[in-house]
Amino acid sequence: MRRKRRVRQREEKEQKKKLPTIPLRLNILFFVIFLCFSVLILRLGVLQIVHGDEYKAEAEKTNNVTIEKSMPRGEIYDSNYNLLVGNAGYNTITYTRSQNTDSEEILKVAQKLNTLIEVTPDDNLTERNLKDYWIVSHEDESISRLSDKEKNMDGSDQYQAQLKDVTDEDLASLTDNDKKVATLYKKMTNGYAMTEQTVKDEGVTNEEIARVSENLDELPGVDTTMNWDRYYPYEDTLRSILGSVTTEQEGLPADKADYYLSQGYSRNDRVGKSYLEEQYESVLQGKKAEYESVLDADNNVISTVQKKAGSNGKDLVLSIDVEFQKAVEEILQENIKKGKAYAGSDLFDRAFVVAMDPNNGQILALAGQKLNDDGEFEDYSLGTFTTAYNMGSAVKGATELMGMMSDTITTTSTFVDQPIYLKGTPKKSSWFNTDGYNDMTLDPVGALERSSNSYMYQLTMKFAGTTYVPYGPLDAPLSTFDEMRKYYNMFGLGVKTGIDLPGEQIGYQGPDDTIGKILDFAIGQYDSYTPIQLAQYGATIANGGKRIAPTLVKEIRNPSSGGDQLGSVYKESEPKVLNTLDATEDEIKTVQEGFYEVVNGANGTAKGYFDSDDYVAAGKTGTAQAFYDGPKESSNMAEVWNTTFVGYAPADNPEIEIAVVVPWLYRDGYSDSKINLSISKQVFDKYFELKKQHENDQQDSENPTINNKDLAAQEQQKAIQSKANGD
């Protein structure tokens, strides 16, 4: 019994020893749990209180992307600040999609936009466009038509399979409203992401602009803005020279895309694609405005705000007086009609005038007129530097100065004008001494006055290092052609003149295979030249020996700040001297005296054509036997005659120099209507007439205003209305 009690007491004692151990472990466990919860609570507090805003912003993260928008191009004015090319602004609705905007989102925007604006279904919607639209608007059905294998294809191959599954019945089920949405969808998916696309720019009413603007929150990527088109107050005058601008659909020309992209352009930017618009693209192109678009986490455009204002392009002020230009074009038309009335003129269809200031190279008029197949006149100013013709005796001033600069002749050297007989070559003579009954001794002045071919032949044979022996061979090296061209090039004949227009041609060089042809070369009946080259040659003689690059731009002005006043001068045109003749003052004056006698001398070939109280002219006539190579292919190589004139006035202090070229005036065997001289006289008369008129209405060159503002405003409104009407 006692033993049992001791055992029980021992057990109780041991139990008492164990009891404190269990609560201690529990306490430790509870303490650890408490610490863990404390850490979690502390961490949660840090996240919510310290970094709460940061993580909230991360959850609602957006991206800001800069978008550039083009500004209107600079405008173009004539020398009297008459607007020649302006901008007509009009309402435009645009769309900019992000990199990740999917087709479903674009479709939703197109469907919503279709309820707010009037949409005309695009006549150019292709079958592919309609299939694309059907797929995106029937996505579930389109996917259901795919086989299991097709559903596992990559995106591009799967889409091709979807396209094949669209049936003719599917396309036939599309309503007119579907085609309107399809039109919008096509425009919105064109081009590149983050590049503004025009959705509608014709016939956009103010009411449509208002409705779209009120719903921009439901139209992510859509914007309302102003766009512009070029308009021309003087319609066709100088139209070809002014050039043109690409549309947004054209964007950058393919052959120059890499260059423009390297300059910061976007692919759908509008750029000058021809002539002045192309040549002065960097000046006329405005500085882009920068807008910041806010994208959500899915890269959808939420909103767009302007970040940096852009500016219009700089303005060009041309050296051309549009009134003088228009008058010259009318003079050409009148005289072409006159020339067409003569027998043998069936191939005659064009004429050209280049007028320039010989002292600085500024073009005063650049005119070409051509009859089309319907007998209507077309502007062919481009032909002044893109087409070439034999110029005839007009180039004899270059031949004489070649002789003087090479020490072949002096200012007083004489030759007896006589027919030239060479072995194996038909007789060659001057027009006034075909049979040798009118032999006479001529110096350089007299040779120009009478337009002696014989003088030029003998000069050229001596230049080539050979002595003329009647009926003997012409023993000279073929390298004479190159030697002669070297001198002619000094005047701008046979080389680019440097005119500030793209596409200038240099003319045609005859083959250097027959040495006797150097005689034809000397009288302008071998190599062909452009009218602008003939003008530069004449200007080089008129100004005393400086070959100056022709330019159409008088000055560049900063964009106008508004109103009728032009902006400040950014840059003035400076004469660009390409080379100076290696001739003495006496040598140049000798040729100038010869030009004077051509017009004013007793035996001058232009005597009696330039009588005027306002000016005294000097110049050189030209008549060249040539071969027709115009549009009437059945008459190619027919023998025709070109007539020309190059001259300047006043003779003692030139301020205008002109080149007149009348190709294919009459067939061989018919009479010359002399319209080259008629044109020249009328051009000089008109220039000095307008000069008197403008003496009393000169503008302040520092702060000029648009001279034809009423006409410009009227034509601008017409252009805007035409766009609003969708014309």
Q: Are 487 and 398 in contact (CB under 8 A)?
A: yes
* Residue 710 belongs to some domain of the structure: no
3-state secondary structure 293-321: EEECCCCCEEEEEEEECCECCCEEEECCC
Q: What is the pLDDT of residues 383-394, one digit of tens each?
A: 999 999 999 999
Average pLDDT, the chain: 89
* Statement: residue 338 has pLDDT above 60: yes
Tokens of residue 150, six digits? 């097709």
Look up the domain containing 432 and give its range.
324-545+581-694
* Residue 699 belongs to some domain of the structure: no
Q: What is the pLDDT of residues 608-660, one digit of tens each?
A: 999 998 999 999 999 999 999 999 999 999 999 999 999 999 999 999 999 99
* Residue 560 belongs to some domain of the structure: no
Tokens of residue 78, six digits? 């004539």
* Residue 563 belongs to some domain of the structure: no
Are 280 and 424 found together in one domain? no
Percentage with pLDDT > 90 across the chain: 62
Q: Which residue has the higher pLDDT, 269 or 382?
A: 382
Are 525 and 596 found together in one domain? yes
Can you tell me the distance from the alpha carbon of 64 to that of 144, in angstroms, rounded to the nearest whole number?
A: 38
Average pLDDT over residues 96-117: 87
* Statement: residue 147 has pLDDT above 80: yes
Are 94 and 122 found together in one domain? no
* Residue 294 belongs to some domain of the structure: yes
Average pLDDT over residues 589-602: 98
Can you tell me the distance from the alpha carbon of 654 to that of 645, in angstroms, rounded to the nearest whole number?
A: 16
- pLDDT attached to residue 44: 64
DSSP 661: E
Return the ∠ at Cα 541 (arms to 586 and 672), rounded to 5°.
Answer: 120
Q: Are 284 and 254 in contact (CB under 8 A)?
A: no
* Statement: residue 3 has pLDDT above 70: no
Q: Predicted confidence band at 296 (pLDDT cuts at 50, 70, 90)?
A: low
Q: What is the pLDDT of residues 87-102, one digit of tens each?
A: 998 888 888 887 778 8
- pLDDT attached to residue 51: 59
The label of the residue with tokens 């050189």 reads 620
| 529: phi then psi, degrees, rounded to nearest 5 | -135, 160
Are 336 and 350 found together in one domain? yes
Q: Tell me how many domains the chain contains.
A: 4
Are 209 and 300 found together in one domain? yes
Are 597 and 629 found together in one domain? yes
Taking phi first (over 0 means left), then psi (-120 to 50 degrees means alpha), and beta for anything else, what does residue 161 get? alpha
Please report, for residues 91, 192, 502, 505, 721, the alpha-carbon distance to residue 269 in angstroms, rounded to integers and kept in the order given.
18, 12, 20, 29, 24
* Statement: residue 598 has pLDDT above 70: yes
Minimal CA–CA distance to 313: which of 562, 564, 70, 69?
70
Minimal CA–CA distance to 550: which of 406, 405, 716, 384?
384
Taking phi first (over 0 means left), then psi (-120 to 50 degrees means alpha), and beta for anything else, what does residue 144 get? alpha
Q: Are 527 and 508 in contact (CB under 8 A)?
A: yes
What element of type H or E holds 554? strand 553-557
- Give me the CATH number covering residue 291: 3.90.1310.10
Range picked from 189-203, 257-271, 353-367 for highest mean pLDDT = 353-367
* Statement: residue 250 has pLDDT above 90: no
Average pLDDT over residues 211-218: 88
- pLDDT attached to residue 599: 97
- pLDDT attached to residue 66: 65
Residues in Cβ contact with 408 at an 8 Å cutoff, skipping those fewer than 6 apart: 402, 459, 462, 463
Q: Predicted confidence band at 43 (pLDDT cuts at 50, 70, 90)?
A: low
Classify strands 301-308 and 420-422 as parallel, antiparallel or unpaired. unpaired
| 90: phi then psi, degrees, rounded to nearest 5 | -150, 155
* Statement: residue 448 has pLDDT above 90: yes
Residue-wise DSSP of 567-628: --EEEE----EEEE-S--HHHHHHHHHHHHHHHHSTT-TTTTS---SS---EEEEEEEEEE-
Please report, for residues 5, 537, 601, 660, 677, the alpha-carbon distance to residue 607 in angstroms, rounded to integers and kept in the order given.
164, 22, 7, 17, 10
Q: What is the pLDDT of residues 461-471, one digit of tens each?
A: 999 999 999 99
- Give me the CATH number covering residue 340: 3.40.710.10
Q: Answer yes or no: 266 catalytic.
A: no
Can you tell me the distance from the alpha carbon of 56 to that of 701, in angstroms, rounded to the nearest whole number?
A: 61
- pLDDT attached to residue 656: 98
Are 336 and 265 found together in one domain? no
* Residue 709 belongs to some domain of the structure: no
Sign of the dihedral defined by the CA atoms of residues 673, 677, 680, 682, in that order: negative
Q: Predicted confidence band at 159 (pLDDT cuts at 50, 70, 90)?
A: confident
Q: Predicted confidence band at 421 (pLDDT cuts at 50, 70, 90)?
A: very high
Are 417 and 506 found together in one domain? yes
Q: What is the pLDDT of residues 531-590, one digit of tens each?
A: 999 999 999 999 999 999 999 999 999 998 877 889 999 999 999 999 999 999 999 999
Report residue 725 CA to chain centroid gap.
Answer: 28
* Residue 554 belongs to some domain of the structure: no
Return the ∠ at Cα 275 (arms to 270 and 276), rounded to 5°.
Answer: 80
In this structure, which amino acid lies at residue 235?
E
Please report, for residues 79, 81, 695, 712, the alpha-carbon distance to residue 706 in angstroms, rounded to integers and kept in the order given.
11, 6, 18, 9
Q: What is the pLDDT of residues 672-701, one digit of tens each?
A: 999 999 999 999 999 999 999 888 776 677
Question: Which is the catalytic residue, given 393, 413, 452, 573?
Answer: 393
DSSP 272: B
Euclidean distance between the first and final Cα of the chain, in Å? 127
Q: Predicted confidence band at 26 (pLDDT cuts at 50, 70, 90)?
A: low
Can you tell me the distance from the alpha carbon of 121 to that of 145, in angstroms, rounded to the nearest whole number?
A: 28
Q: Are 153 and 161 in contact (CB under 8 A)?
A: yes
Tokens of residue 550, six digits? 């022709």
Are 177 and 205 found together in one domain? no
Q: What is the pLDDT of residues 490-532, one digit of tens each?
A: 999 999 999 999 999 999 999 999 999 999 999 999 999 999 9
- pLDDT attached to residue 50: 59
Are 600 and 646 found together in one domain? yes
Are 234 and 295 found together in one domain? yes
Average pLDDT over residues 595-619: 96
**Range list of H helices, 166-290:** 168-172, 176-189, 206-214, 239-242, 257-262, 275-279, 281-284
Q: Which residue has the higher pLDDT, 642 or 195?
A: 642
Q: Are 197 and 191 in contact (CB under 8 A)?
A: yes
Can you tell me the distance from the alpha carbon of 75 to that of 324, in angstroms, rounded to the nearest whole number?
A: 20
Average pLDDT over residues 659-678: 96
- pLDDT attached to residue 27: 67
Are 613 and 518 found together in one domain? yes
* Residue 569 belongs to some domain of the structure: no
Q: What is the pLDDT of residues 344-375, one digit of tens each?
A: 999 999 999 999 999 999 999 999 999 999 99
* Statement: residue 665 has pLDDT above 90: yes
Tokens of residue 260, six digits? 């423009």
- pLDDT attached to residue 304: 65
Where is average pLDDT lowest: 174-183, 351-360, 588-597?
174-183
Q: Which residue has the higher pLDDT, 573 or 198?
A: 573
Tokens of residue 423, six digits? 């072995």
From 191, 221, 253, give the residue that closes a domain: 191
- pLDDT attached to residue 54: 57
- Give me the CATH number covering residue 170: 1.10.10.1230
Q: Which long-range contacts (CB under 8 A, 24 or more apart) does 467-474 make?
A: 468/420, 470/421, 471/421, 471/422, 471/423, 472/422, 472/423, 473/422, 473/423, 473/424, 474/422, 474/423, 474/425, 474/515, 474/516, 474/519
Where is average pLDDT lowest: 60-74, 283-297, 301-315, 582-596?
60-74
